[in-house]
């Protein structure tokens, strides 16, 4: 039986879930991609029913509580969805012989390094979101099926759902003042590119923990400026520090100052680098022009 005989994508209504659906559908694979409303992975009985109904041989877990600031207020929910539910999902995959591909985050690192994080660098999340995602990684490995992948990524955006470039464009078009942090560095990652890389990783036989982002690095401020340039919007942006942002938004979660991930192993494994983040942003603009947000 092939891994691709029956595919289940949890969080199928989200940015990455929809991008994975597009990539796999183009390859002719049969899949189910229920949204969070249709399949809450934190409800174990619902998970069991989904497995009984679809009998998946391959599961992509794109479901997560990703609202980083809200996670600070909803720690129990974050742990349930991002942490313990991943362990339950892994156990079901193990029982049924399914492969599990789980999406994790750069937020498992504290941002204290000044060179790209390798998969085996020490983890030390700063906030609830990062801790809950690290818990998910731990729970998966404790309950691991025979075949599994953890793919850490960063600064994800796409045409569907809330994300940073969309927020910047909409705020600028509404005439709102823009103040953006300049001292946090990472790699913006476009969901169609990420989905393609994940599928290629899987097809290459990769297993274990991997890092996958678009190439290059930038700050949130420079990403905001590039987004406005791409969309042809003339709006002023004020560059501020993380400390200044914390004063403006005291309830915001701490974020790593530097969270660039080392994608050299990915490049070697799939035989190509993921393209530069700036080129991906141009394609995002084209997609929005063609289809809207």
Q: What are phi and psi of 95, to 5 degrees?
A: -60, -35
Quick check: is 129 catalytic?
yes
The radius of gyration computed from the CA coordinates of the chain, to the nearest angstrom, equals 19
Angle at 240 between CA 113 and CA 282, to 5 degrees: 80
Give the C-alpha separation, 34 to 50, whole Å. Answer: 9
Bridge partners, residue 156, by sequence: 189
Catalytic residue from among 4, 129, 157, 258: 129
Helix, strand, or coil here: 39? coil
Secondary structure class of 276 (helix, strand, coil): strand
List phi, psi (to 5°) of 97: 75, 25
Q: Can you state the angle between helices 277-291 and 220-230, rounded to 10 degrees?
A: 40
Which residues are tagged catalytic? 129
């Amino acid at each position: 039986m092939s891994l691709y005989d029956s595919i289940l994508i949890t969080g199928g209504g989200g940015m990455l879930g929809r991008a994975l659906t597009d990539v796999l559908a183009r390859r002719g694979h049969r899949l189910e991609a229920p949204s969070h409303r249709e399949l809450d992975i934190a409800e174990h009985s619902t998970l069991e029913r989904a497995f009984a109904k679809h009998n998946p041989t391959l599961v992509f877990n794109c479901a997560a509580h990703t609202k980083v600031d809200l996670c600070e207020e909803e720690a129990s929910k974050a742990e349930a969805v991002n942490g313990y539910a991943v362990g339950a999902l892994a156990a079901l995959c193990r029982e049924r012989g399914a492969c599990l591909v789980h999406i994790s985050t750069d937020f498992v690192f504290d941002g204290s390094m000044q060179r790209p994080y390798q998969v085996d660098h020490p983890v030390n999340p700063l906030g609830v979101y990062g801790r809950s995602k690290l818990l998910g990684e731990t729970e998966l490995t404790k309950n691991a099926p025979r075949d599994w992948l953890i793919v850490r990524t960063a600064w994800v955006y796409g045409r569907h759902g809330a994300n940073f470039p969309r927020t910047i464009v909409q705020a600028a078009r509404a005439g709102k003042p823009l103040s953006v942090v300049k001292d946090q560095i990472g790699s913006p990652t476009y969901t169609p590119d990420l989905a393609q890389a994940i599928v290629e990783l899987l097809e290459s036989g990769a297993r274990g923990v991997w890092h996958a982002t678009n190439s290059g690095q930038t700050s949130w401020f420079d990403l905001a400026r590039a987004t406005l340039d791409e969309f042809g919007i003339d709006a002023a942006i004020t560059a501020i520090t993380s400390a200044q942002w914390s004063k403006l938004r005291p309830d915001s979660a701490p974020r790593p100052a530097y969270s660039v991930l080392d994608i050299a192993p990915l490049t070697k494994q799939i035989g190509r680098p993921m393209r530069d983040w700036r080129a991906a942003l141009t394609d995002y603009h084209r997609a929005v022009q063609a289809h809207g947000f």
